[in-house]
Structure 1
Amino acid sequence: MLSRSLLPTPLGQLVLVHDEDGVLWASEFHDDPAAIEASLARFAPGTMVEADVPLPAHLEDAFRGYFGGAFDSFDELMTGRFGTPFERAVWAALRTIPAGETRSYAAIAALLGDIGKARAVGAANARNPLAIVVPCHRVIGSDGGLAGYAHGLARKEWLLRHEGWRPAQDPML
């Protein structure tokens, strides 16, 4: 069984879905319950979710650390194993982008060995069930624009600026 907990953040409530061992399965903003349901249906079909469970301390500490400026607070966080092999490769690549920097979809595709898969990288990015932990907000368009973010471009820009991103100094641009 999975549990659902709410965590207030500067960007609104986050819904965190975790198991009894504190492994994180999903993190989505509360204003997008359909994304949570879609993630769970895809990655944990038929799983019962107990609502409004106290958040395990280590998960709360990790998220509070991130919002407090400790951008490495998710490094040791255990997450559920889900996604296709390609999606997992994309998500692992996203976790290598340093806070305050961005990469294009094409750059991630090239890193994975096939620049022609930039659209597939974008699709995998869109299916990321772990908002902020797997930093899909650090992926931008090849033109440097803040392209696509399931949680809204204002949140994407806020997260990037929180991490110290300055467009004129970005090595991607």
Structure 2
Amino acid sequence: MTLLIRDATPADAEAIHRAILAMGEVLGTAKKITSTPEIFAREGLAPGRAFEGLIAEVDGTFAGMCLYLPVFSTWLGRPGVYVQDLFVDERYRGMKIGEALIRRVARIGRARGASHLRLAVDFDNERAQRFYERIGVTRYADDYIHAAYGEAFERLSEEDVT
């Protein structure tokens, strides 16, 4: 087995989208996915764009991916890196590919001045939670993610309280 981890390019948008759809299927949230390969190719997958990515290949076959973006902690006063999505194809799980992807993102972040890595894990995804804990990405009990999507975001962006 030969593992190659490389930067994702717009040419990888289709494979990345398939991985996102597979994650949605596993989590039972596939109907919520409205992204397309065209959006991935246009909006990200290059430095300075909305996000970057890494592709893992085993013997030339897509085995997984990790999408990430820069963040900044106002409390730490330091930049960091945020992992948006991590996916390893079922056929390649247990081969430490997910760990290799996360470690590579951490090294990329550190080289760019990052002092931390953050990510969110779906509440019901206990397998992922155990994986992250095992590699040292710890859950902080005092952090909760709040979000406004869809109509809630539209209302938030339109309503003026003054």
Q: TM-score, normalised by structure 2?
A: 0.29
Bigger radius of gyration: 2
Structure with the largest fraction of strand = 2
Tell me: higher relative CO, structure 1 or 2? Use CA pairs within 8 A at least 6 residues apart. Answer: 1
- The normalised TM-score by structure 1 is 0.28
